[in-house]
Amino acid sequence: MTTPHDLERREFLKRLAAGGLVIAVGASGVRRLEAMPAFFAAGDPFQPSVHLHIGEDGLVTIVCHRSEMGQGVRTALCMVMGDELEADWTTIRLEQAIGDPKYGSQNTDGSSSIRGTEYPRLRLAGAAARTMLEQAAAAEWGVPATDVAARNGAVVHVASGRSLPFGQLVSRARLFPVPAAPKLKDASQFRFIGKEVAGLDLHDILTGRAVFGQDAKMPGMKVAVILHPPVYGASVATVDASAALKVKGVERVITLATTPIPSGFQPLGGVAVVASSTWAALQGRRALKVTWTASPNDAHDSVAYRAALQASSRAPGRLVRKQGDVAAALSSAAKKVTAEYYAPHLAQAPMEPPAAVALVTGDTCVCWACTQDPQSARNEVAAALKVPKENVTCHVTLLGGAFGRKSKPDYVVEAALLSREMKAPVKVVWTREDDLQNGFPHTVAFQHLEGSLDATGKVTAWLHRVASPSINTTFAPGVTDLSDGELALGILDLPYAIPNVQAESCKAAAHTRIGWFRSVSNVPHAFAISSFVDELAHAAGRDPRDFILELLGPDRIVDMTKVGAVKPVDNYGDTWEAHPLDTARYRKVVELVTMEAGWGKKLPKGEGLGLAVHRSFLTYVAVVVHAKVGANGEIAIPRVDIAMDCGFVVHPERVRSQAEGAVIMGLSNAMTSELSFKRGRVVQSNFNDYRVLRMSAAPRALHVHLAPSGGLPGGVGEPGVPPVAPALANAIYAATGKRHRSLPLGKA
Amino acid sequence: MRLTVNGTSRSYDGDPAQPLLWYLRDELALTGTKFGCGIAACGACTVHVDGQAIQSCVTPMSAIAGKHVTTIEGLSVAGDHPVQKAWADANVPQCGYCQSGQMMAAAALLKQTPKPTEADIDRAMSLVICRCGTYTRIREAIVAAAGGR
Ligand code: FES
Ligand code: FES
């Protein structure tokens, strides 16, 4: 299969203007659009998210509204729509959409581009266009539509073997109404969906031609780096730019206003050095002498903060789930287990630090950025420039990793503000130091769990208290604890058949911006929950696998209105009817992963297997880690097995690679990474002290086991991460009898 | 001073302290070489200087005088260096940002050590971080490019 190439945007617009068949997918269904004018009509109640265009030359263009960051969305969209269309793969072209609400949500977040109802809607678009092309051919030949079939870019009259390529049918196909419920292909006829298809961007990546945000360029462009306030909430007090301005190539030093706390998506402010080259800008920044105003976060210290969170989690918090009577069950238990878990702040640290290019001309702005959400970039730029958002065009480059960091467009706003000052295109380059010290760290969490066992070793009560600052603190004042949405990431949806369950959200103030991180609060929650299940299993003297299966109870759909949640529980924005909490799917991934990993096998001294299972983003994942602990406590990981049930699998190769990546990131979270604060400032500065997993520490063997259960697809990018850290902690316990309750677990 | 980049002879009279990375990216528009840390801690900027893998972010232009630099754009004409082919076969890249550095490190390793051991691979490749987590596939691709085991 050859790889479809990106069309130049201008060429694509020309192509649209030249006619052809345009099918758009919206929340309410599928519709045909007239060429250019209607395509850009404002105020149309129909809000298509994806567009499919078939030109008279037979080329198929798919507009991708979501951002590519390694998860393969660009390829997956082509696979799904192209398959239903019966397109010839070599004729498929991809156009990356600009940020515009006409595409529906473009926020590439929550593992949501294919999952749930997106997948059937994408299929519908392809099927609708195929049906219209078939009708056009049938009319051309004067035969019933049932006698023709689309095949690989052409419609064929089955009996006679006559065929017409799509391009020649387009103008006729336009005259047919768009079928509301076209016949979808049978899964047995899929040619791309569920098959191995080479990634659309693979060749460009292999030859160094792929363009990321850091690589974006405009003629006459200046480069800027910014010295950001070291403490959240501080702003520039004094600037001495004299030395910086002497650096050859430095053109201007510009003070940027600090957005007051909570600063949302707007920039932190600071001092920008604008230069003719990146090197000059970097040297200029080094030569700046800046003092900062005081901030309410000046005293923030991770050691003291951890103690404060611990104290908070030891007292009752806001009651969010109450089933049965936990207090009574705990006090009458045959055995009681209490454990506390700590997970530190983390940095997303995508390999590409944030970057954006912007050009402001009068009251309009064009930008190019590695952003997960070009619409919010557009909105924030418009707000900062005080221009209508229709005046801002935000193009999306490839993203060199994102993991949640690039859904916050503060760096795009910086580029726009500086371009307005410079009256020239400006690229803002974030360095790794900026990324680690001035980012949106993942939340930190202290969790207090209590559980009880009866005389037969059955769990009778489960109390879970969490103290963890909410992402909402970044956006609104007065947020005191996790939101209900964040609590629905593991705590409110705890599936186990335990008669008495109580969950409380305890107070946790934020002293930094807090942001999304791959799998969000599932990461700390799953660490505590799956570690605690393992602790209970050992307290009961049971094999952890058998114990988990028993704790899941009989196969059933958990009625989420009957789990004692104080408010309705969110299900990743989807309904519980479409994506119920199904204990059979937990059971199956546990059974699969333990069978594949050889659970129960005899291992040498100092080695052990650990198991954890977690559902997130509508997908069920179980992990077995094989850990080997050396005489001096050094941890090696000979093997990891991960089993994933994400419903229907659209792109198996990408599902596997996302699962592999999730294991590596989960191990980084567990073993090496920690972002900490002292005197309000982030202590770590670069990859020398913010440590992430490298090749030498990666598992020697990593086996992904897909356990697709059919139905609607679940998320894939994130759900692999949460069970990895607890599986490792449980493996180390199995190997050594030492329980790690604090991450990163390499640190005592 | 003069240097050769991907077979083309160049002259340079700018700041001798400027790292090779920024010369390649800003002046020659060879943006396949990536910026990830600037302190020789991530390997994203790995290129070959006279056949050796080096971190271009900490290599000043003054150290390159008279040398031959090869970047990912010059690793092969058609993108068919054995490492690139093995990378494609194993579908290594996710986001792709680290992969220029990974391939340049792997190509240098295989040139010096055509049949690398696990330990050789660990040593050469642990300099290059992949945050997307493609390590197992990189290992597999290197073994394949070395002609299997
Ligand atoms: S950018 Fe040179 S090693 Fe990281
Ligand atoms: S492929 Fe994304 S950092 Fe390696």
Distance (Å, rounded) from C-alpha B81 to C-alpha B77?
8
Distance (Å, rounded) from C-alpha A227 to C-alpha A300?
20
Q: Given A278, A399, A658, which is nearest B26 (Cβ)?
A: A278
CA B42 to chain A, closest CA, distance in angstroms equals 7
What does DSSP assign to residue B26? I
The verdict on a CB contact (< 8 Å) between A70 and B95 is: yes
Q: Which residues of B touch A218 (CB under 8 A)?
A: none
Q: Does B125 touch chain A (CB under 8 A)?
A: yes
Q: Roughly how many angstroms between the first and final C-alpha of chain B, as a whole number?
A: 44
**Torsion from C-alpha of A97, A100, A102, A107, nearest 10 degrees:** 80
Q: Which residue of A has its CA nearest to B95?
A: A70
Distance (Å, rounded) from C-alpha A206 to C-alpha B103?
8
Mutate to test the interface with B, among A653, A687, A692, A718 (most CBs of B within 10 A): A687
* CB < 8 Å from B in window 371-410 of A: 398-403
CA quadruple A248, A254, A260, A264: dihedral positive or negative? Answer: negative
Q: Does A747 touch chain B (CB under 8 A)?
A: no
Distance (Å, rounded) from C-alpha A257 to C-alpha A426?
18
CA B23 to chain A, closest CA, distance in angstroms equals 9
Of 1.20.120.80, 3.30.365.10, 3.40.50.720, 1.20.58.100, the CATH number of A314-347+440-736 is 3.30.365.10
The domain locations on chain A are 9-206, 213-296+369-429, 314-347+440-736
Q: Does A246 touch chain B (CB under 8 A)?
A: no
What pLDDT is recorded for position A446?
A: 98
Q: Does A350 touch chain B (CB under 8 A)?
A: yes
Q: Given B31, B35, B91, which is nearest A657 (Cβ)?
A: B91
- The pTM (predicted TM-score) of the whole model is 0.93
Q: Does B33 touch chain A (CB under 8 A)?
A: yes
Nearest to B2 by CA among B90, B78, B61, B71: B61
CATH number for the segment(s) A9-206: 3.30.365.10
Q: Which two tokens stand for residue A345?
A: 């702040």
CA B21 to chain A, closest CA, distance in angstroms equals 9
Strand A445-453 versus strand A459-467 pairing type: antiparallel
Q: Given B91, B100, B138, which is nearest A199 (Cβ)?
A: B91
The verdict on a CB contact (< 8 Å) between A351 and B44 is: yes
What pLDDT is recorded for position A45?
A: 39
Helix axes A118-141, A73-85, angle to 10 degrees: 30
- CA atoms within a 13 Å half-sphere pointing along the CA-CB vector of A72: 30
CA B122 to chain A, closest CA, distance in angstroms equals 5
* CB < 8 Å from B in window 691-710 of A: 692-696, 698-702
Query: Going along A259-316, which residue ranges are E strands?
Result: 270-275, 289-292
CA A311 to chain B, closest CA, distance in angstroms equals 34
Residues A709, A647 contacting (CB under 8 angstroms): yes
Residues A592, A466 contacting (CB under 8 angstroms): no
Mutate to test the interface with A, among B94, B109, B140 (most CBs of A within 10 A): B94
Distance (Å, rounded) from C-alpha A201 to C-alpha A316?
51
Q: A9-206 and A213-296+369-429 share one CATH topology?
A: yes
Beta-bridge partner residues of A22:
A33, A53
Is the CATH number 3.40.47.10 carried by domain B82-145? no
Nearest to A731 by CA among A619, A638, A617, A665: A638
What pLDDT is recorded for position A714?
A: 82
Q: Please, what is the Cα angle at A368 between A363 and A370, to 5 degrees?
A: 135
Is the CATH number 3.90.228.20 carried by domain B2-75? no
Distance (Å, rounded) from C-alpha B145 to C-alpha B139?
10
Nearest to B10 by CA among B51, B71, B55, B52: B71
Our answer on whether the CB atom of B76 is closer than 6 Å to any ligand 2 atom is: no
Distance (Å, rounded) from C-alpha A52 to C-alpha A59?
11
| Nearest ligand to the CA atom of A201 | 2
Q: Which two tokens stand for residue A622?
A: 């179980």
The verdict on a CB contact (< 8 Å) between B95 and A207 is: no
Nearest to A473 by CA among A465, A484, A481: A481
The verdict on a CB contact (< 8 Å) between A208 and B100 is: yes
Write down how long chain B is: 149
What pLDDT is recorded for position A13?
A: 54
Distance (Å, rounded) from C-alpha A41 to C-alpha A171?
22
Mutate to test the interface with A, among B80, B120, B132 (most CBs of A within 10 A): B132
Q: Does A5 touch chain B (CB under 8 A)?
A: no
Residues A738, A732 contacting (CB under 8 angstroms): yes
What pLDDT is recorded for position B12?
A: 98
Our answer on whether the CB atom of B98 is closer than 6 Å to any ligand 2 atom is: yes
C-alpha distances out from residue A710 to A61, A65, A649, Å? 29, 25, 8
- Please give the interface size between A and B, counted as residue pairs whose CB atoms are below 8 Å apart: 174
Structure confidence at residue B41 as a pLDDT band (50, 70, 90):
very high
Our answer on whether the CB atom of B130 is closer than 6 Å to any ligand 2 atom is: yes
Across the beta sheet with A701-706, what order do the strands follow? Answer: A607-616, A619-629, A635-645, A701-706
Q: Which residues of chain A have pLDDT under 50?
A: 1-9, 35-48, 748
| Residues in the ligand 1 pocket, defined by CB under 6 Å | B 35-38, 40-45, 55, 57
Distance (Å, rounded) from C-alpha A434 to C-alpha A405?
12
Q: Does A623 touch chain B (CB under 8 A)?
A: no
Residues A655, A716 contacting (CB under 8 angstroms): yes
What is the A684 CA–ligand 2 centroid distance (Å)? Answer: 22
Residue A476 exposed, middle or buried by CB count within 10 Å (0-12, 13-18, 19+): exposed
**Torsion from C-alpha of A543, A546, A550, A556, nearest 10 degrees:** 150
Nearest-atom number in ligand 1 for the CA of B37 is 4
**Torsion from C-alpha of A635, A640, A646, A648, nearest 10 degrees:** 160
Distance (Å, rounded) from C-alpha A130 to C-alpha A461?
56
| Nearest ligand to the CA atom of B57 | 1
Q: Does A211 touch chain B (CB under 8 A)?
A: yes
Q: Which residue of B has its CA nearest to A349?
A: B131
Of 3.40.1260.10, 2.40.50.100, 1.10.150.80, 3.30.365.10, the CATH number of A213-296+369-429 is 3.30.365.10
Query: How many other CB atoms sit within 10 Å of the CB of residue B78?
Result: 7
Our answer on whether the CB atom of A294 is closer than 6 Å to any ligand 2 atom is: no
Q: Does B7 touch chain A (CB under 8 A)?
A: no
Distance (Å, rounded) from C-alpha A376 to C-alpha A386?
15
CA B10 to chain A, closest CA, distance in angstroms equals 19
Q: Which residues of A touch B29 (CB under 8 A)?
A: 217
Strand B68-70 versus strand B2-5 pairing type: parallel
Q: Which residues of B touch A71 (CB under 8 A)?
A: 94
Backbone angles phi, psi at A251, to 5 degrees: -105, -45
Residues A145, A135 contacting (CB under 8 angstroms): yes
What is the B27 CA–ligand 1 centroid distance (Å)? Answer: 18
What pLDDT is recorded for position A365?
A: 97
The domain locations on chain B are 2-75, 82-145
The verdict on a CB contact (< 8 Å) between B91 and A214 is: no
Q: Which residue of A has its CA nearest to B14?
A: A248
